[in-house]
Each structure stands twice: as structure tokens, then as C-alpha cells.
Structure 1
Amino acid sequence: MAYTDTELAIAAAQAGAAVVRARYGGPLDRFDKGAGDFATAADLESERAVLDVLRGARPDDAVLGEESGHTGSRSADRTWLVDPLCGTLNYAVRTPLVAVNVALRTGAGITAAAAADPIADELFWAGDGRAYVRREGVDEPLLPSARSGLVDVDLDPPFPNAPAFDALRLLADAEFTARFRPRVLSTTLALAWVAAGRRAAYVIDRDVEDSVHFASGIALCQAAGCVVTGLRGQPLHTGVRGLLVAADAQTHAALLAVIDRQFRAAREPATALP
């Protein structure tokens, strides 16, 4: 079957999601990856299913997989970024908040992306400047909205901007809590939900460039018209590491003001005691 790049990203994500859905709730072997991280048999099987679809349609493309690493030329013009089970810990403890991510990076950036939610049976996809969610075979445009006031804050280390910025302090900031309600969700769904209007914003202090975990979600948000910047409001993948995604400019500005307050406080000398 001949696929466009966007159709291929969707088909590959669906193949991985079928594996993840079928194995959900069953016994799973864990494979230690160090530093407290692990993969399950579902991660590995899902990645094989995704790669079978990609390699069958685009055998000359490079692939960067979460579990299998990099295959193909590192200087390739086209590289697929694959996270076969984003939210492994959730999955292992039977929490139904996971995603399967597939994105294509070309010289023009991420040009096709899909993030499948295998448990809710939803598929978020972006390509050619469009962003949709597919339910029961029907595509609906993604429409960001800040109405919920819910902001997902990723608290997984490492924290490259600590101690100047601390996401835990963000949750306790009076200005933040006066306007927003925090949620903590460490999967691509956090970004997909901002694009879909289910979350107002998402904040993470981590390097997200060329990440198999974030490439699809960022592409969804950009195509849906969200405000997508680095943690300090700078162009994405420049300056300090981190990611700030908001449904609209007003929400982005409000969060940026709270974040900036932490950075300013870190630069100010401590007041001497009398």
C-alpha cells in the first residue's frame, strides 16, 4: 500500500497501539534500563510492530526508536522518531494514561506526527499544517482552549534549570494557584490534550529537542495553533532547555510571568539579616 508520510505515521502508531491495547492489564516482564527506568515486553513488541510498518513502506529512511536506538544513516534527510509506549510506568501499574508516538523529522522539521491513545482508542495526528483527533474512524479538528484552567506540569527529572527554576515551586506559587489548577501527567497525552482543548497548558523543565517522547506532541500543538516556546518564552530548542505550551497567548503570558519570577529570584542576592 502506498502511504503519504502522514498516513504512514498514523498506520505505524495504530500498529503499536494495537499491541499495547491487547497486552494491557496482563502480566508483563520488566527489563531494567538503569537509573530507575525500565521497559516492558509491551514496549518491545509495540516498537517491533511500528518498525515493521515504517520499514515496509520507507526502507531507506532512518529510525530512532526508544528501545532499539538508531538505525540507518545519522545524516539521513528523513528520520522517524518512535516512542512505542509513552507512559511505561503508568502502563505497568494499570493506569490507562499512555500513548504510542511516531513522528517524521526532515530538514523542514517534524512534518508528520501521530500519537495514539490505545486505551481510549483515540488517535491524534498532524500533517500538512493540519491537526485532528480520530475517534471511530471520524476526524475532528483539534481546537485549543484555555477554559479548563488545567495545567499539566511534568515533574520527572532531570531538571536542567534547577535551582533557578523548580517545577515544584511553580505548583506552590500563589499567582499560579489563583489562576490555574495543576495536574501531573508524564506522557504525550499532556501535549495532545492541550491541542484538543482539554488542558490549558503544559510545562516541563527538560531537553525536548529530537526527543521520541515529545516530537509528536509538539507537532500536534504547533499544527493546532497553540503557543509553543522554550521555558523562558524563547523560540523552541534555543536558549535554556524546557518547554512551555499554552492554548493561547494570554495563558502563555500568565505562565511565563510566574516562571520568570523564579529565574529573577535566583539571580537576586539574598537579603542580609539586620
Structure 2
Amino acid sequence: MYELELKISQQAARKAGHFLKKEFFLWDSKKINYKKGNERVTWCDKGAEKIILQILNKNFPSYSRLSEESGSKDRDSDYIWIIDPLDGTTNFTVHHPLFSVSIALLYKNNLVLGLTYSPITDEMYWATKNQGAYKDGQKIKVSNVSDFKKSVVTYCHGSGPNNRKKAHKLYEHFHNICHHCRHFGSTSMELAMLASGDTEAFMVSGARLWDVAAGIILAQEAGAKVSDWQGQKWNIESKSILVGNKKIHALCQKELKKIKLA
């Protein structure tokens, strides 16, 4: 199922990604603007979104959509595209190559498709429900590392001082008990890295749906356990996310309780 949606969304992500890659190497930091919450936004975010929406709307005119830059468009459909045209805007604006295009599809509020495209490395990650997760056509699985001391844990945070405080507390604690604790600045890429076995766990509080939707189905289809920080099954209303292989997920949740974040 969803072969057509996957094909078209991959085309949209690649076209937007090629646009972003070109602009990345021409970027001038004077072009930065700021939106609510002091988040950076560029005309490249909006340009990439325009490319994606033109392709998706042409091929699926009845589907609703939720996109970071232009908001929601409700067409009274069971299908909703979730779009982040440039995940990692700050990285992009400081000439850091870790950023991505992220597209997911909900059916009756359940994730059925997700993809993350890295323009600079030309890597495409994707998953459809019950069909596994893939990177450039090769099936991927989460890491089987079970020892914290050999684990790389990544984290991110939503906007606002409360979420930043939680992130600082995460880093301070996990940095001392695992091999590495890192914040890479692109939630979609951090989840893609976990899904492909490059890292062992990922945690975030206050993320928006477009930040995580594609990455969550990637991780699930790659064999990860996905929950909120309290251990409840993740859903589109969840305020926090913990993702990892089953062993590391359990260890992370135990540590979150120790530092009173769960």
C-alpha cells in the first residue's frame, strides 16, 4: 500500500532538497528572519515548502496537509500530509550540512508513511506501515547495542525555557553515563540515524508533529520502541518522545525517572 504516495513524496522531497542544496552553497547569513519563539526562518524554508506543496497538491488534491511554514489546510480528508520543508534551519543558516526535508502521511491520525531526505549527502530514508524501513533501497534496523557505555544518545527540545531546561538536564545526566550524548539540531535526521543503527536512543520534549512524524514511523518500522517519557505509547498528542532499541529504551526510561523527568 501507499506505493504512489511514497513515489510522489520522494519526488517532492528530492526536488525541494536539490533547491536547498543549491541555496546552501550560496547562503548569506544576512538573509535570516525570525518568527514566533525567536526561531530562525529563511526564504529557503518557504521556497522548499512551495515546491513540495505544488507536487503533492497536484497529485493528491483531496488530501489535507499540515506544514511548518504555512500551517494547516483541512480538506475534510482522512489523509493528512505532515511536512517540514527544512528541518534544521539553524544548521542551514550557519553552513552546517546536517539538515533535511521531512514528509509524513497520516491516515485517520495514524502514521502510514514517512520519509527524510538529506540534501547534502543525497540520502533518502523512508518507511511505510508494516513494510519495514529503508535507506537508499537497503533495509535498515535499529542498533543491537545494549550497554549504555557503548551507546550514543541524542536529544532535542521544543521552544520555550521549560523545554530548554529539560534538555540541559538530559545532557548533564546522560553525558556522564553513556558513550556520547549529542544534540545535532535536526530531529528528523536524528531519528533517521537511530533507525539506521547509527545511534541508540533519542529523546525530545515539546516537539511539533512536523518535527517528528516521519522519523517516528522510520524508527518504528526499523524495530525501535517509541513512547513518551512516562512509557505510554506515542500518539500525535504526545508532549515528549523516547525512542530506542528495547534494551536502551528501558535503561533511558529508568534514568529519566531518576532525574524526575518521567
Q: TM-score, normalised by structure 2?
A: 0.88
**Distance in 1 between residues matched to 2:242 and 2:179, nearest whole Å:** 15
In structure 1, the partner of 2:81 is 80
Q: Supply the AA of the counterpart residue of 1:78.
A: Y
Cα shift at 1:146 = 4.8
- Map Cα deviations across residues 92-111 of structure 1 (whole Å, 9 max, x no partner): 11000101011111116111
Secondary structure of 2:78's aligned partner: coil
Report the counterpart of residue 172 of structure 1 in structure 2.
172
Asked whether the 8 Å contact 2:158–2:207 carries over to 1, the reply is no
Whole-angstrom distance in 2 between the partners of 1:162 and 1:153 = 11
State whether residues 176 and 258 of structure 1, in contact with CA within 8 Å, keep that contact through their aligned partners in structure 2: no
Deviations 1:105-131 (A, max 9, x none): 111611111110001110101114221
In structure 2, runs of 5+ residues without a counterpart are: none
Which sits farther off after the overlay, 146-155 or 45-54?
Answer: 146-155
3-state DSSP class of the match of 1:35?
helix
What is the rounded CA distance, in whole Å, between the counterparts of 2:115 and 2:139 in structure 1? Answer: 14
**In 2: Cα distance, 1:41 partner to 1:239 partner:** 29
Task: Summarize the Cα distance change of 1:3–1:195 in structure 2 as closer, same or farther, 3 Å threshold.
Answer: closer
Counterpart residue identity of residue 61, structure 2 = P
CA contact (8 A) 2:37 2:159 kept: no
Taking the aligned partners of 2:191 and 2:27, their CA distance within structure 1 comes to 29
Q: CA separation in 2, counterparts of 1:42 and 1:4?
A: 27
Aligned partner of 1:217 in structure 2 is 215
| Equivalent pair of 2:141/2:222 in contact (CA under 8 Å) | yes
Q: TM-score when scaled to structure 1?
A: 0.84
| Shift of residue 48, structure 1, vs aligned partner | 0.9
Displacement after TM superposition at 1:62 (Å)? 1.2
- Report if the CA contact (8 A) 1:230-1:238 is conserved: no
Match of 1:18 in 2: 18
Alignment of 1:1-274 (within 5 A): 4-28=4-28, 29-73=31-75, 75-107=76-108, 109-129=110-130, 130-134=132-136, 139-147=137-145, 149-158=151-160, 166-173=166-173, 177-187=176-186, 188-208=188-208, 211-237=209-235, 241-246=239-244, 248-263=245-260
Cα displacement (A) at 1:67: 1.1
> How many residues matched?
253
Q: Kindly indicate whether the alpha-carbon contact (under 8 Å) linking 2:65 and 2:74 is maintained by their aligned counterparts in 1.
A: yes
- Deviates most, 51-60 or 7-16: 7-16
Residue 263 of structure 1 aligns to a residue whose secondary structure is coil
Q: 1:35 to 1:162 in 2, by over 3 A?
A: closer
Determine the C-alpha separation between the residues in 2 that align with 1:261 and 1:111.
Answer: 34
Distance 1:162 1:155 in 2: 6
Distance 1:96 1:239, change over 3 A: closer
Structure showing greater radius of gyration is: 1
Structure 1: how far apart are the matches of 2:103 and 2:237?
26
Question: 1:111-163 CA distances to partner (integer Å, 9 max, x unpaired)?
Answer: 111110001110101114221011xxxx1111110545111111453366797
Q: Deviations over 1:72-109 (max 9, x none)?
A: 32x42111111000000100110001010111111161
CA contact (8 A) 2:228 2:241 kept: yes
Find the aligned partners of 2:164 and 2:181 in 1 and give their Cα distance.
Answer: 20
Asked whether the equivalents of residues 12 and 102 of structure 1 are also in contact (C-alpha less than 8 Å), the reply is no
Aligned residues: CA RMSD = 2.4
Instruction: For 1:11, give the aligned amino acid.
Output: Q
1:153-202 deviations in Å (ceiling 9; x for gaps): 11453366797xx33223222x7623341011221100000000011110
Provide the identity percentage: 25
